[in-house]
Structure 1
């Protein structure tokens, strides 16, 4: 069993306030975020959607690596991005899509097996399961020669 922690400290109102997000490991340590980094062009801070994207991409990538290893294949390189879309819904917002893009170099693996393992990793990684309320989670997987 594993439990990981993150914390946020926020000061001020929603639009004008500023927050700091920290993780137990220190990977994020009082990293700034706020309205500007979420909805504007502030590139100094982070935002919840990119953190969710990073979590999903890293979980999925690890699930794919384990699945390939279990199938008898050694992965050389795996690159994954997760694009998390936040859209307006009524008076609030909703994450309505996460688009995963995978590029992997797996010597000896055929395309059909690659696509099957990638789809299974997407379906079975803990973050995919936790994000099941997102209406659309897509995967574009490319096997790199």
Structure 2
């Protein structure tokens, strides 16, 4: 199985502009640039896209593992905060903080945390990333 994302960039780093698109069309020539990545201007950037991908992947992996354990989540809400830091002459994604709020009837906090950590380690996006991945999981209700 292959999925495709693409980018087009024109110009130098600070003055240039780019766009990103996805195979599904959910992103179609979505603009991005230096200002949306490094200056907190409105618009997308690679780090927020990685964060969304990681949050989605982790949530699906967790749903599968909970199901395997005989538990059905009512709601899994995951946020991924991606830290981009200057390292030498370049930048690196150094840390991703996953914050999970979940409603899982019948789950004990201990079992829930065990399964959530398995999902963190096992989701394909976690396996891809060369960053420290932290998880703060909260079982609600």
TM range (shorter): over 0.9
Aligned to 2:107: 109
TM-score by length of 1: 0.95
Aligned to 2:37: 38
Structure 1 residue 31: deviation in Å?
0.4
| Residue ranges of structure 2 left out of the alignment (5+ in a row) | none
Structure 1 segments of 4 or more deviating over 6 A? none
How many angstroms apart in 2 are the aligned matches of 1:141 and 1:74?
Answer: 16
The residue correspondences of 1:1-145 to structure 2 (distance < 5 A) are 2-43=1-42, 45-131=43-129, 133-134=130-131, 136-145=132-141
3-state SS of 1:104 partner:
strand
Structure 1 residue 42: deviation in Å?
1.3
TM-score by length of 2: 0.98
Structure 1 residue 96: deviation in Å?
0.7
3-state SS of 2:41 partner:
coil
Aligned pair count? 141
1:52-103 Cα distance to aligned partner (Å, 9 max, x none): 1111110000000011111101110110000000011111111110000011
How many angstroms apart in 1 are the aligned matches of 2:99 and 2:65?
Answer: 17
Structure 1 residue 41: deviation in Å?
2.5
How many angstroms apart in 2 are the aligned matches of 1:121 and 1:19?
Answer: 34
Structure 1 residue 9: deviation in Å?
1.0
3-state SS of 2:24 partner:
coil
- Note the aligned Cα RMSD (angstroms): 0.6
